[in-house]
Amino acid sequence: MNLSKHVTVNEFCFSPTAIRAGIKNVMALQQLENATLLCEKVFEPLRAHVGKPIKINSGFRSPSLNRAIGGSSSSQHCKGQAMDLELHDKELFDWIIDNLEYDQLIFEFGTEQQAAWFHISYSHKNNRKEVLRATKKAGKTVYSKYIR
């Protein structure tokens, strides 16, 4: 089953951690609807701009999986509203800011020019257009305002 033209439910829910730990990582109807909107409104326009496949590192996470990987208890991944993408370039990140609708966009770790990955979320209403930079300080993740 597809969430959009280029994203399957299996791809969006895939997790090596879930497989290793025997964790069931299956979306309910509301999560499925949220994931479909995210893929249609964010992923597909981004893929069209990039012009080639984009790997989803993390999409949906059940609460058990989210706990197992140390995710935030309020993570939008658990609602089917977020994905981490194998994208790195600051220029592309800035293009997303200017061209796509999103709730939260995070330039995760890496360097000032190359992220380790991009986190993008989408809500069917009241998208905040929040843009953050994630870094590590004293072993802890710190979120700050993204500066172009």
For the chain of 148 residues, list the mean pLDDT of each consecutive stretch of 10.
Answer: 97 97 97 98 98 98 95 95 98 98 98 97 95 96 95
Q: Locate tokens 């981490």: which residue?
A: 84
- CB atoms under 10 Å from CB of 3, counted, come to 27
- pLDDT number for residue 21: 96
Q: Residue 97 half-sphere exposure, CB side, CA atoms within 13 Å?
A: 15
Tell me the CATH number for domain 2-145: 3.30.1380.10
| 140 phi, psi to nearest 5 deg | -115, 145
86-97 residues labelled b (16+ CB within 10 A) or e (exposed): ebbebebbeebe
pLDDT for the residue numbered 23:
97
- Confidence at residue 33, expressed as pLDDT on a 0 to 100 scale: 98
Listed in sequence order, the residues at least 6 apart from 94 whose beta carbon sits closer than 8 Å to its beta carbon are 148
Q: What is the pLDDT of residue 62?
A: 97
Residue entry with tokens 């597809």: 2
pLDDT attached to residue 101: 97
- By CB atoms closer than 10 A (0-12, 13-18, 19+), residue 68 is middle
CB atoms within 10 A of CB 58: 22
